Structure 1
Amino acid sequence: MTKLTLGTHPYLLGFEQLERLVERTAKTGNEGYPPYNIEQTSQNSYRITLAVAGFSEDDLAITVEDNSLVIRGRQADDSEGRIFLHRGIAARQFQRSFILADGVDVGEAVMENGLLHVDLTRKVPESVVQTIKIRRTGK
């Protein structure tokens, strides 16, 4: 018996990209830092919230690359000339990626009390009915 995958199922035409997308999602390399929430704020909008305490707006970069929302954080090392008896707050960098479906647009990004909020909206496609004319071949 042959195993069918999404890209090879006979009723799913043109979905080869979906299988590659699932593989790409598994390889994003997202670790547990920084923690984040994803909430649905309406039927066609979402909000991603990342806990970025210690980062300023200048330490963060938000880009959309090949249908991926990429949020990067990099803090400058300000420890020069300082003597720490204990250093439990790490100044570390991160990259967090989220794959976006077609038609999802990234809106506003807002910093509030150490949280970065990124709003997303999904465009609702119009329902299109297309009638295909059947051509008769001559005999």
Structure 2
Amino acid sequence: MTTAFSLAPLFRSSVGFDRFNDLFESAARNDSASGYPPYNVEKLAEDKYRIVIAVAGFQEQELDLQVEKGVLTVAGGKRDNGAQNQEKDNVTYLHQGIAERAFKLSFRLADHIEVRNAGLANGLLTIDLLRQIPEEAKAKRIPINGQQVLEREGS
């Protein structure tokens, strides 16, 4: 009897890097609220990523995106709209599948990942990310020549 161990939860809250230590910490916390709202993390190209969050029923002014210390936080909550809330109070739901409840999602970003754009269309919040590694942080090829590079002091 074999049991499959899924690593999917490890990759849920990280974008752009493979630091297993941080991923295991995230999985160990296992927030029960992490299933709402549903979202996708997509890799579009070598250095381009996209997060798509299903935010049905939310308007732009009810959503908040922030990046602080390498963590992208997306929060949503219904604002008090007077007449609109009174209208909803008078409704009896036979089935209520659209939650419209407050949420907060956090995504730990790798070094040099920037939020480039965010948009809301058809109930989907799309956040585009780009990895821009500065020249001084990129790997450099070191040529090997047949000469001794370091000379002893005093020779």
TM-score (norm 1): 0.71
Counterpart residue type for residue 109 of structure 1: A
**How much has 1:22 moved relative to structure 2?**
3.6
Q: Do the aligned partners of 1:39 and 1:48 also contact (CA within 8 Å) in 2? A: yes
Paired residue for 1:13? Answer: none
Deviation, 1:41, is: 1.3
Q: CA deviation at 1:59?
A: 0.4
More moved, 68-77 vs 93-102? 68-77
CA deviation profile, 1:86-131 (whole Å, cap 9, x unmatched) = 161333100011111111111100111110000001123422368x
CA RMSD of superposed structures (Å) = 2.7
Q: Does 1:127 align with 2:139?
A: yes
Instruction: Give the deviation of 1:33 after TM superposition.
Output: 0.5
Q: CA separation in 2, counterparts of 1:61 and 1:28?
A: 23
1:117 aligns with 2:117: no
Extract unaligned runs of 5+ from structure 2.
Answer: 1-18, 143-148
Q: Offset at 1:40?
A: 1.1
Question: Counterpart in 2 of 1:100?
Answer: 109
**Structure with the greater relative contact order (CA < 8 A, sep ≥ 6): 1 or 2?**
2
Task: Give the drift of 1:23.
Answer: 5.5
How far, CA to CA, are the matches of 1:98 and 1:28 in structure 2?
A: 13
| Identical-pair percentage | 36
C-alpha separation in 2, matches of 1:24 and 1:70: 18
For 1:33, the equivalent position in structure 2 comes to 36
Q: 1:79 aligns with which of 85, 91, 96?
A: 85
**Aligned partners of 2:140, 2:35: CA distance in 1, in Å?**
42
CA gap 1:129/1:37 in 2 versus in 1, 3 angstroms: same
Partners of 1:25 and 1:99 within 8 A in 2: no
What residue ranges of structure 1 are gaps of 5+ in the alignment? 1-17
Aligned-residue offset at 1:37: 0.8
- How far has the Cα of 1:52 moved from its partner? 0.4
Code of the residue aligned with 1:21 in structure 2: it is D
The C-alpha deviation readout for 1:3-40, integer Å capped at 9, x for no partner, is: xxxxxxxxxxxxxxx67634652337352110011111
